Amino acid sequence: MIVNLASSFLTLAAILFCLGLFGALTKRNAVIVLLSIELMLNAVNLNLIAFSKYGIAPSLTGQLFSLFTITVAAAEAAIGVAILIALFRKRGTSDVTDMNQLKR
């Protein structure tokens, strides 16, 4: 049952993505928001890998692509955390609802 396996991977990925999305949109702590974004990226990675294994035209491209994604996500996380720390030093808070300076 190849298809069923694929759909269970995809379902897991969708659940992960929704969790990440929920976290990104609702959590007030910036670090958790960042984590949630990582969660969404990983859900996408899972999709890529699932399709590269069980898709219509299986190939290594998907897995390679997910490696790239992980790399980029790591870089992104590094930059994101760096910004967060800078912001925390500057403003003494990590609450995203306080980060609405552009509106003011």
Partner 1 sequence: MDSTFVQYAWLIPVFPLLSFLVLTALGRGFRAAGPIVGIAAAAVSFVLALLVFLERLDGTKDDYTWNDWNWIEAGGFTLSMGFEITNLNALMLVIVTLVSALVNLYSAGYMSGDERKTTFFAYVSLFTFSMLGLVISSNILMLYIFWELVGLCSFLLIGFWYHKPEAKAAAKKAFIVTRIGDVGLLIGILMLFWLMPGHHLDFTMIGNAVAAGDISESAATWIALLIFVGAVGKSGQFPLHVWLPDAMEGPTPISALIHAATMVAAGVYLVARTYPIFMASPAALDTVAYIGAFTAIFAAVIAIAQNDIKRVLAYSTVSQLGYMMLALGLGTELAWAAAIFHLFTHAFFKALLFLGAGSVIHATDEQDVRKLGGLFGSMKITAVTFAIGALALSGLFPLAGFWSKDAILTQALHHGNVILFAVGVIAAFFTALYMTRLYVMVFLGKRNKGRKEAHESPWVMTLPLMILAVLSVAAGFASMPGEPWLAGWLRGVTLTEHADWLVIVLSNAAAIAGIAVGYVLFRKRSETEAGESEPAGLYRVLQNKFYIDELYQAVIAAPYRALGNVLYWFDNYVVSGAVRLVSAVFVGIGRAGVRLQNGQLQTYGLMILFGCILFIVAIAGRRFF
Question: Which residues here bind partner 1, judged by CB under 8 A?
Answer: 21, 24-26, 96-97, 99-104
Q: Which residues face 95 on adjacent strands?
A: 29
Q: Please report how close the Cβ of residue 90 comes to partner 1 at its closest, in angstroms.
A: 17
Any idea which residue has 């379902």 for tokens?
11
Report d(CA 89, CA 63) in Å as an integer. 39
Nearer to partner 1, 25 or 57 (CB): 25
Nearer to partner 1, 17 or 51 (CB): 17
Measured between alpha carbons, how far is residue 40 from residues 4, 20, 28, 31 in Å? 22, 5, 17, 14
CB of 22 to partner 1, least distance (A): 10
Residue 21 or 77: the one with the smaller Cβ distance to partner 1 is 21
| In the complex, least distance from residue 25 CB atom to partner 1, rounded to whole angstroms | 5
Whether 41 and 73 have beta carbons less than 8 Å apart is answered as yes
